[in-house]
């Protein structure tokens, strides 16, 4: 089985519950309360984000070639803005994707 990297987010969409007392949002799965993603859900989210990072290598290289005056940070920022506009992933996942893309490109 593929191992999810330790730096991949564990809680991609923390719940906000109203009230005076601190509360946790939990789901009942197989008779147990689960807060956040299960390991299977986390693996699936990581596979989606890793696939997207791999696909974005070409886009990043094209953008860098088209706008050579832009730094790598600017290119990655432009890609981050494009991802944010699509609602494909959470903010923490998007940050991981951009960091992973930087790593893949060795920027």
In the chain, what are the domain boundaries?
Answer: 27-105
- Give residue 67's pLDDT: 97
- E-strand ranges in the chain read 27-29, 32-34
69 vs 14, residue with greater confidence: 69
CA–CA gap between residue 102 and residue 76 (Å, rounded)? 8
Q: What's this model's pTM, rounded to 2 decimal places?
A: 0.80
Q: What is the CA radius of gyration of the chain?
A: 17
Q: Quote the pLDDT of residue 28.
A: 74
pLDDT digits (tens, 9 = 90+) for 17-40: 666 666 667 777 788 777 777 888
Q: How does pLDDT run across 40-72, given as a tens digit for each residue? A: 889 999 999 999 999 999 999 999 999 999 999
Residue 98, pLDDT > 90, answer: yes
């Amino acid at each position: 089985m593929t191992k999810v990297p330790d730096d991949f987010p564990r809680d991609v969409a923390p719940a906000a519950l109203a009230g005076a007392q601190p509360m946790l949002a939990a789901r009942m799965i197989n008779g147990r309360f689960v807060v956040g993603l299960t390991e299977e859900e986390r693996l699936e989210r990581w596979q989606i984000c890793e696939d997207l990072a791999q696909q974005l290598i070409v886009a990043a290289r094209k953008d860098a070639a088209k706008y050579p005056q832009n730094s790598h940070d600017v290119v990655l920022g432009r890609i981050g803005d494009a991802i944010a506009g699509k609602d494909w992933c959470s903010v923490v996942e998007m940050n991981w994707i951009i960091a992973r893309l930087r790593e893949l490109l060795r920027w």
